Structure 1
Amino acid sequence: MTRKLLPAFALSALLAQPAGALDLGSMTDSERADFGRAVRNYLMDNPEVLMEAINELEKKQNAQIAQNDQQLIATNEDELTNDPESWVGGNPDGDVTIVEFMDYRCGYCKKAYPEINALLKSDGHIRFIVKEFPILGDASVKAARFAIATKQVAGDEAYEKVHNALMTLRGDISDDSLSALAKKLDLDGDAIQKAAASPEVEKVIEANYALGQRMGLSGTPSFVIGDEMLRGYAPEEAMKKIVADQRG
């Protein structure tokens, strides 16, 4: 005896049941075809049901991503926030820490630069850490090496000056341009260039690459804000909201 197809008004309740509650395998080919048409007709007549399902799936996926990110941050917290090779700006005793993985040739890093500075200036309670993550070619690596070497040779204040200059630099990055930059900032360019080629600087970059890989980073800028990941550029107001959420 042929089963009667459920009326369309009951279809949404049926679809909400566990997969095992609907045995498609026991249906005949004709019944499955009728059922498929009923599902399609129902969704065409009630597209909001499909949008609700998509929104619910996105919510669950985003929640899972956030949970995974929190676990990654907790696992790598020491290297993210307590690495002596990384420069610390903002308020070293701030209640929220922002870690930026950046590349001096990254256009969106340069776009984020004034936004971050404005955030640090307006807040005053943010600890800011820079991780050189040069992924855009040899010039990016050259700039990162120079910045790291500056910190090792001349200290944090000199690093900050070089970092700021490189973030606002619009020309090509070369040995000559970096030497000119050092001269402009009254730094020992020869000593910095020599240190830039050292194993100590290479070790820092390799450690940042390894950390970024563990964190699942594929581009710059990428931020760790408290226990939340932000992959990509965000304007100051969006970052302010994340910082506020971190404070509860």
Structure 2
Amino acid sequence: MSRLTTILVLAVGVLAGGLGATLLSAPKLDEAAVTAIAENVVAKAKPEPGLTASAVETIVADLIAKQPKQDTPQPAAALEQSAIDPMIEKYLLGNPRILQKVSAALDAELTAERMAATRTAMVELKPAIFESENGIVLGNPNGDVTLVEMFDYNCGYCRQALPDLAALLDSDKNLKVVLKEFPILSQGSVDAARIAAQVADADVDYWAFHQALFTSRGQVDKAAALKAAADLGLNPITLEMGMATPRVDKVIEESYRIADRLKITGTPTFIIGDEIIPGAIGLDALKQRIANMRACGATVCTTEQPG
């Protein structure tokens, strides 16, 4: 059953049932009445803000109240959802554009709800995203703009974005970059991230380690990460023993928590200001957003914003 059908069935069924089949004043809902209700619901639905479930309920309640009254009690079966369902289905199958219209409206409503939830989550998660000790800070730690990247060492698009990140670090000396380990593609990714979290805490060049893994051949796994760390002078045995420590767990779990709240499912994902940017969007696009952050405090500047 479609979402429109579900809404109409629930609205008609629940509201009609709520009137009480044993009441003398219960309206008679035959096929013609249900069809009339459906037509009126669609006719009264405005394009903006869209046909929501509450709007349907309001319209249906009004229309049921206007149905002809009968003088004798109506059998309960006449108001059961199983009797109303086929009537609404028949009407909708004969009017497919209605399904498209209401489906689009409901999609817009759900999208708006998700966006509102994401904005709320962004406010709550800002310290974890931009300021947490569990992120690896590159560039200027006191920079006026912060660029966050959530990445997986086995992500091809992350590899593609590496030169863009390097170019930004070289050219923009007032940019703070925060790297968040977000291993989602394989167990090898998880193992490499657990080694990387320890490298980030060590007194070595993490950026060199990071680049070494992304420019290596084949899948990045524990062995590859241990080799890259050993090339920087770290003890691979110590690193392997430290893969399951609470400190390492905290680094990985924080990224998963952020991703879950913000509905981030892929890598790379960049975060600048309040914008979540999926994918490798290219150097110019990143530069433009950084410039806009400096100009107006948002990744997209409008005429209403100070600049």
State whether TM-score is above 0.5: yes
Q: Is 1:165 the counterpart of 2:212 in the alignment?
A: yes
8 A Cα contact 2:196 2:225, kept in partner? no
Per the alignment, do residues 215 and 175 of structure 1 end up closer, same or farther by CA in structure 2, a change over 3 Å counting? closer
Q: Residue in 2 aligned with 1:142? A: 191
Aligned with residue 286 of structure 2, among 226, 236, 239: 239
Single out whichever of 175-184 and 66-75 deviates more from structure 2.
175-184
Identity %: 29
Aligned with residue 238 of structure 2, among 167, 170, 194: 194
Q: Residue in 1 aligned with 2:114? A: 65
Task: Report the Cα offset of residue 134 of structure 1.
Answer: 1.3
8 A Cα contact 2:195 2:226, kept in partner? no
8 A Cα contact 2:148 2:179, kept in partner? yes
Q: Residue in 2 aligned with 1:215? A: 262
Matches within 5 A, 1:83-122: 83-122=132-171
Aligned with residue 124 of structure 2, among 72, 75, 84: 75
Q: Residue in 1 aligned with 2:180? A: 131
Per the alignment, do residues 193 and 129 of structure 1 end up closer, same or farther by CA in structure 2, a change over 3 Å counting? farther
Task: Report the Cα offset of residue 139 of structure 1.
Answer: 1.3
Task: Report the Cα offset of residue 141 of structure 1.
Answer: 1.8
8 A Cα contact 1:132 1:205, kept in partner? yes
SS in 1 for 2:202: helix
Query: How large is the Cα RMSD of the aligned pairs?
Result: 4.0
- Taking the aligned partners of 1:218 and 1:87, their CA distance within structure 2 comes to 20
Deviation per CA, 1:154-194, whole angstroms, max 9, x where unpaired? 24xx111101111222224355544543454xx2232x541
Task: Report the Cα offset of residue 209 of structure 1.
Answer: 2.7
Question: Which amino acid in the other structure matches residue 89 of structure 1?
Answer: L
Task: Report the Cα offset of residue 67 of structure 1.
Answer: 2.9
Q: How many residues align?
A: 229
Per the alignment, do residues 64 and 12 of structure 1 end up closer, same or farther by CA in structure 2, a change over 3 Å counting? closer
Which consecutive unaligned segments of at least 5 residues does structure 2 have? 1-31, 69-83, 293-297, 302-307
- Taking the aligned partners of 2:45 and 2:254, their CA distance within structure 1 comes to 49
Task: Report the Cα offset of residue 100 of structure 1.
Answer: 1.6
8 A Cα contact 2:148 2:178, kept in partner? yes
Deviation per CA, 1:126-146, whole angstroms, max 9, x where unpaired? 321011111222211221122
Single out whichever of 74-83 and 166-175 deviates more from structure 2.
166-175
Task: Report the Cα offset of residue 204 of structure 1.
Answer: 2.3
Task: Report the Cα offset of residue 220 of structure 1.
Answer: 2.1
Single out whichever of 118-127 and 18-27 deviates more from structure 2.
18-27
Q: Residue in 1 aligned with 2:11? A: none
Question: Which amino acid in the other structure matches residue 234 of structure 2?
Answer: G
Per the alignment, do residues 57 and 206 of structure 1 end up closer, same or farther by CA in structure 2, a change over 3 Å counting? closer
* Higher alpha-carbon Rg: 2
Per the alignment, do residues 120 and 152 of structure 1 end up closer, same or farther by CA in structure 2, a change over 3 Å counting? closer
Task: Report the Cα offset of residue 117 of structure 1.
Answer: 3.1
SS in 2 for 1:131: strand
TM-score by length of 2: 0.58
Q: Residue in 2 aligned with 1:226? A: 273
- Taking the aligned partners of 2:262 and 2:284, their CA distance within structure 1 comes to 25
Question: Which amino acid in the other structure matches residue 246 of structure 1?
Answer: T
Per the alignment, do residues 93 and 189 of structure 1 end up closer, same or farther by CA in structure 2, a change over 3 Å counting? closer
- Taking the aligned partners of 1:174 and 1:12, their CA distance within structure 2 comes to 56
Which consecutive unaligned segments of at least 5 residues does structure 1 have? 45-49
Deviation per CA, 1:89-131, whole angstroms, max 9, x where unpaired? 2332223222222110112221222233334445544321011
Question: Which amino acid in the other structure matches residue 201 of structure 1?
Answer: V
Q: Residue in 2 aligned with 1:47? A: none
8 A Cα contact 2:151 2:182, kept in partner? yes
